[in-house]
Structure 1
């Protein structure tokens, strides 16, 4: 017999919040509770000053739910709102708070696209490794919270641990990685609204032991929504890299992404045309499956740098699925060299700042 939502809430009503002394239901910290057969997931959304004290409570909740009859899998995430107890000043003339620097991180590069399926996460992973091979200390923050891909791409499935009130990012292929995918089951969906997304992003930025890093690359979700706006408004971003394919339907959405970054006064460092050509494994013939040159032409129209074109090959897909990106698996191959060329352009630009 499957567990019910009422049973979960009854259990949570018996677990005490360490600061207030009230139970978790009365304290109103339980969010996004979902019970699906034997699968249970929920979020404990707390104030930043309570985050450290709530870590053992999260473990207590997870253990208690897992012990219930009918429960197969449990996912309990802890997010912390970075705010105080004072009510907000809603004055129309109040200046917004200044962006908060991420401790120990020199530069932050956001990798975005207006559209899903253009290979943004694959580009992020390989650019991160290429920059690391060029001598930089690099981290990856997987901000695609609804569809985290970096654990798969980087071949990592560990769970971050806390030390000195900070989460320790997972080390993979010589870079530091943090993803909500490390904190949940691989095949479970997150059903979160904007405020929880924003809180999770802020926690992964400021409550993770990133230092020291030369550059943190943020793998954004597709589109121009809550995560993008939260990142650009609350964190000083060095610049954004736009990923697109050559076809018109992708370029339309890439323009929207570029416009969003312009509206938030975020510099656009350049555009990458992914899947520029398909290279046949058997004969080596190049075929412009999605068209060719659209990304370079759009970069020229937008007045932004064109960083490079990347091919679509079987080996690029195979190495990504295997958890060893092609820059690490086949560093001397032509695909890896394309990523290195783009990374060198980014490194050269960062050196001028």
Structure 2
């Protein structure tokens, strides 16, 4: 006859992918019910949208299903209370972000999809809606946030803490502010992690509703460093319609799921172009890629941003579209994306 301690022993082998600890030891196994040859395991998660839900359920089914006498394994997920979640998954002890409520990283699978443009204008749209917003540019291979925001001043310090530059209602820090705009740097894994740790610990971000990260393309050291430092950092994925961009985004989504981070949705950039002589959109990079990826992954498509001359000029001039023309057609798209974000955050 099967006993609960046998099931619990089998579950000791199921590890949280980021913490590398047993779900039993963490306290995520909330209940075990044995009825004949059927075992029901109740799994506690921080959010019903947790990307770990399916991954952990599969691991639990394999571990328990291997026991003699078990024919069926059912996994039921429940949402942990805030107190339980904070006890099991304590917030980062980093000083600089102690008063930040939410973390949102804007990511892409490849370069050239306009990720920084999306990050800057989404941050501005959130600020326009009354949120207190910081923007941290951790694109170590090409930090362009200072250029897009027209920031030329260097970072200052006060009482041993770095003070963000304030621009257009955002508190901004960029890797590009640590040296000249045209200076070249060679960043390697340990240095990247150390620098990101410093920007989180030694920057006085103050009280923020959102700290938005502009990640470098792909799934390299900066993305991993953020995941390790801030496990509850949510992800907003940026793609363009063509298949080559979608393939890279799929790989990035897979990595973020493995690190246990919540991907709140997709934004399709360069979706179409309006030439001004016709109302018919010209789909330069194909069509439907974002919608296809949304159907495939179950992630919501939060918006489709067109190729817009004013959007490009705003980035080049240091006066972004959400500053120069927030109520333009494209500006409204960004505002609609920003309105959806609070309800999707973990």
Q: TM-score, normalised by structure 2?
A: 0.71
Instruction: Measure how far apart 1:97 and its partner are.
Output: 10
Per-residue CA deviation, residues 241-285 of structure 1 (Å, 9 max, x unaligned), is 000000000000000111111000000000110000012145454
Is 1:301 the counterpart of 2:301? The answer is no
Is 1:213 the counterpart of 2:208? The answer is yes
Distance in 2 of aligned mates of 1:313 and 1:129: 17
Are the equivalent residues in 2 in contact too, given 1:108–1:236 (CA < 8 A)?
no
Per-residue CA deviation, residues 303-347 of structure 1 (Å, 9 max, x unaligned), is 111111000011111111111110111011001000000000002
Cα distance change of structure 1 residues 329 and 98 upon mapping to structure 2, 3 Å threshold? closer
Q: Which residue number corresponds to residue 114 of structure 2?
A: 119
Q: Which residue number corresponds to residue 186 of structure 1?
A: 181
Q: Which residue number corresponds to residue 192 of structure 2?
A: 197
Q: Which residue number corresponds to residue 314 of structure 2?
A: 319
Is 1:242 the counterpart of 2:237? The answer is yes
Distance in 1 of aligned mates of 2:92 and 2:247: 30
Q: Which residue number corresponds to residue 136 of structure 1?
A: 131
Secondary structure at the aligned position of 1:187 is classed as coil
Distance in 1 of aligned mates of 2:132 and 2:241: 32
- 1:156-305 to structure 2, matched below 5 A, reads 156-305=151-300
Secondary structure at the aligned position of 2:216 is classed as coil
The one of 140, 148, 153 equivalent to 2:148 is 153
Distance in 2 of aligned mates of 1:282 and 1:150: 33
Q: Which residue number corresponds to residue 18 of structure 1?
A: none
Instruction: Output the aligned Cα RMSD.
Output: 1.6
Are the equivalent residues in 1 in contact too, given 2:231–2:260 (CA < 8 A)?
no
Which is further off, 153-162 or 282-291?
282-291
Secondary structure at the aligned position of 2:122 is classed as helix
Distance in 2 of aligned mates of 1:143 and 1:312: 25
Instruction: Measure how far apart 1:238 and its partner are.
Output: 3.5
Distance in 1 of aligned mates of 2:147 and 2:178: 13
Per-residue CA deviation, residues 84-104 of structure 1 (Å, 9 max, x unaligned), is xxxxxxxxxxxx998445211
Q: Following TM superposition, where does structure 1 have runs of at least 4 consecutive aligned residues deviating by more than 3 angstroms?
A: 96-101, 281-285
Q: Which residue number corresponds to residue 330 of structure 2?
A: 335
Secondary structure at the aligned position of 1:162 is classed as strand
Cα distance change of structure 1 residues 285 and 319 upon mapping to structure 2, 3 Å threshold? farther
Cα distance change of structure 1 residues 285 and 322 upon mapping to structure 2, 3 Å threshold? farther
Are the equivalent residues in 2 in contact too, given 1:281–1:314 (CA < 8 A)?
no
Q: TM-score, normalised by structure 1?
A: 0.70
